[in-house]
Amino acid sequence: MPMFTLDDVRRIMRSCAGVPDAVDLNSDIADVPFADMGYDSLAMLEMAAHVQQEFGIRIPDDAVEEMKTPQEAVDYVNRRFAGELQG
């Protein structure tokens, strides 16, 4: 059972970066690039900060480069939980 899910991404983006105009966050957004939903680099930093605060894990600033889509963000955070990533 993953600790971090797409619903967590939806909830965190909604609260810290707002809701996009063109895309329904409740639809299947797993592989829709954040950029295509209107989330810019500052929105990604906001998301990373919230995940760090809420889940108590560390996400380096440049890790947002590996999180171009919600699914990639979920995978990255869960690999962090699993201790698969260093730094």
CB of 38 to another protein, least distance (A): 6
Task: Give CA–CA dist 2/23, Å, rounded.
Answer: 25
Task: Give CA–CA dist 19/37, Å, rounded.
Answer: 9
Q: Does 57 bind another protein (CB under 8 A)?
A: no
Residues 6-25 that bind another protein (CB under 8 A): 16-21
Type of residue found at 6: L
Contact between residue 13 and residue 43 where contact means Cβ atoms under 8 Å apart: yes
Q: Does 49 bind another protein (CB under 8 A)?
A: yes
CB of 7 to another protein, least distance (A): 18
Please tell me the count of residues contacting another protein according to CB under 8 A: 15
CB of 52 to another protein, least distance (A): 6
**Contacts for 9 with CB less than 8 Å, ≥ 6 apart:** 29, 47, 70, 73, 74
Rule CB under 8 A: which residues touch another protein?
Answer: 16-21, 38-39, 42-43, 45-46, 49, 52-53
